[in-house]
Structure 1
């Protein structure tokens, strides 16, 4: 008796689910709304496809119950992922922080080998097929917007979330899952640039520096990260900011007071920097403070910083009080801004929130509400940090779903 599995969505999780189901002996059909599969995959890792991370830890995952992901990530783990892709032709290149890329450093390489495999294994693929709903009757009827219907024994929903809608992720999967009886948690952009409240954003726009960013919730530091930070006309960007955005937006949605701290100088303690400034300024008593900061920080930061702490840029260094030098020290170590929101879905790398994981079996990815329906990847209320963790979740959840849908 054949087992026909329909996979909705030809992204990372969907392609992996289809390959796993076929490998376990099922007949498989992928329905992809775009004109080709894997569109979003091409944008990952700045077009280089950071497809996993050797330093993976359960703490890299978030959601109402991050531990939900543990079984899948353990069963189809990082080693198995690297081995799987190596057999397809992808030679791994491990970079800083454990990020794994194809040695070609082209996301297209990963997509090319997956597409080859789909075709080679005889998996049926229909593109420009937008699913509107699933009905249960003698198996499942998967109905497209144009009313074309496909019949299958099992259905794997891998439509992705809301992030990067230009790639086809428009949240339609949430509507499909809701119609099947699932609940969707609050969803918001993840790994996204933050909007700040400040009078200086226009003059800071484009200023980039290597520093530390931290998130304060109700005046308490909850998380910080280090790397390239970029001020923009709307707020702030850069890898550390993207990494912190999830926690910032989560608390902002809960009505908390959220602040972002930047440490422009992070290599000295506050006391060390204070002493250093006293010493530095002793060599240039006649200079105006504006000129006295050149060579210490980015020139375009000087005026906004002096305005923020109410020091006239023309003030001669010898007339600065110790209290003013202390203020300057403090802002260079910890400049705080109020977080007021984020850029839109078009700029977000992932979706935070999704289908409630209490309604899905984490050993199989099968719905507890409708047997024979499997839900994978970004559609679920699981999201990872930046650095290959989200793609690893796509591979793991897709593989578990495809294997189990075929076995049952």
Structure 2
């Protein structure tokens, strides 16, 4: 006689919903336990509200945008549910897709709500029970089943359990780190979580004066004289430090160094399309043409006006009204050096509330690489951001959610 397996999924985010759909299609009775008042809230915020579903540049052989303690582990899971399979999965649900710059895949509608709508429709269609406004505090093993206990002491039973509670980023959207507590209580280790894809705090006395200034440039994270990573794009000075897409991409390297009690530096190149020599010639020629103008005025039209006095003072030029003809070659070289390699000490990052993803998580050494099942307690599975896997901006984190959710849901329902 066929015995229907009951699978409990803790967490109704991207990984949890994928796991639920796959497990239900395999014939399991599935219940999602979600602490927020509805599933998929964080999904609505992805891709600036457009939902960057995946990235066509991601493959088992190209994992440069995936991070964590074991890329081979992540690559094996991503191979089991690929980018093409993800796109096809959503096409069947009704999401026509388009590919944009850097391989980013978005729904044709440009609405994250479209993706959530079709996922919720599928949950309903499969008669998957969704219980919201509930937080599971404990998981106990009792003979051949598991008992889930919520914050009010109410108990629920299941044959298999998938923990997909997310990390600690954007706690207002559901990820409050509760999954780490569950994992530890089950005997698992957790690699210390820290915020990634987050704005950086800098050490500088003049940040309030230049907050709000945007420019296209390049940024590098440097540690012990070595460039860890370099990114180009729109940068934004803020009251606390610096933001912009390149900074989000660099932030993991910076925060990880800080977590290791090291001192990372960020280096800003305001003219990445010019070599040092080209910029030196440009500015020298500019000053020679404007020899009778005040130095600060001579830079108007080249860099943001609010940056000019800061750039000059940091270059140890304090008389801003000196005529250009009075500026020595050595002083010009100082200015150019700053414009090409302006360095700041990184002193921290914005809070979990501002980070897009969590680095660190449940230790992969204690998880079966083929099934995502716990090596410590069979019948417990993990998926999504809760694990020690994270990715760059651009759809990589959502692809990990879909792939890991698929594998966990498939294996837990077998």
TM-score range, shorter chain: over 0.9
Which residue of the partner structure matches residue 32 of structure 1? 34
In the alignment, structure 2 segments of 5+ residues that lack a partner are none
3-state SS of 1:59 partner = coil
How do 1:225-236 and structure 2 match up within 5 A?
225-236=231-242
Matched positions, count: 407
2:198 equivalent to 1:192 = yes
**Alpha-carbon displacement from aligned partner over 1:354-392 (angstroms, at most 9, x marks no partner):** 000001012111111110000111000110001110000
Q: Which runs of 4+ in 1 moved over 6 A?
A: none
Equivalent of 2:65 in 60, 67, 73: 60
Which residue of the partner structure matches residue 146 of structure 1? 152
Moved more, 189-198 or 312-321: 312-321
2:354 equivalent to 1:382 = no
Equivalent of 1:110 in 108, 115, 130: 115
2:189 equivalent to 1:183 = yes
Alpha-carbon distance, 1:66 to partner: 2.4
Equivalent of 2:82 in 70, 74, 77: 77
Alpha-carbon distance, 1:204 to partner: 1.0
Which residue of the partner structure matches residue 171 of structure 1? 177
Which residue of the partner structure matches residue 291 of structure 2? 285
Which residue of the partner structure matches residue 328 of structure 1? 335
TM-score, structure 1 normalization: 0.99
Alpha-carbon distance, 1:219 to partner: 2.1
Which residue of the partner structure matches residue 308 of structure 1? 314
Distance 1:128 1:2 in 2: 26
Alpha-carbon distance, 1:151 to partner: 0.6
**Alpha-carbon displacement from aligned partner over 1:302-335 (angstroms, at most 9, x marks no partner):** 1111111111211211011111110111111111
2:269 equivalent to 1:263 = yes
Which residue of the partner structure matches residue 8 of structure 1? 10
3-state SS of 1:128 partner = coil
Could you say what the CA RMSD is over the residues aligned between the two structures, in angstroms? 0.8
3-state SS of 1:273 partner = helix
Distance 2:138 2:327 in 1: 69
Alpha-carbon distance, 1:58 to partner: 1.0
**Alpha-carbon displacement from aligned partner over 1:241-262 (angstroms, at most 9, x marks no partner):** 0000000010111122210011
3-state SS of 1:35 partner = coil
3-state SS of 1:300 partner = coil
Distance 1:82 1:185 in 2: 31
Equivalent of 2:259 in 236, 249, 253: 253
Alpha-carbon distance, 1:237 to partner: 0.3
In the alignment, structure 1 segments of 5+ residues that lack a partner are none
Moved more, 63-72 or 194-203: 63-72
Which residue of the partner structure matches residue 124 of structure 1? 129
Distance 2:376 2:338 in 1: 53
3-state SS of 2:166 partner = coil
Which residue of the partner structure matches residue 244 of structure 2? 238
Which residue of the partner structure matches residue 228 of structure 2? 222
Alpha-carbon distance, 1:158 to partner: 0.4
Alpha-carbon distance, 1:67 to partner: 2.2
Distance 1:299 1:80 in 2: 50
How do 1:41-60 and structure 2 match up within 5 A?
41-56=43-58, 57-60=62-65
**Alpha-carbon displacement from aligned partner over 1:54-108 (angstroms, at most 9, x marks no partner):** 1113111111222210011111010000000000000111110111111110100
3-state SS of 1:390 partner = helix
Distance 1:270 1:361 in 2: 51
Alpha-carbon distance, 1:112 to partner: 0.3
3-state SS of 1:213 partner = strand
Distance 2:117 2:315 in 1: 54
TM-score, structure 2 normalization: 0.97
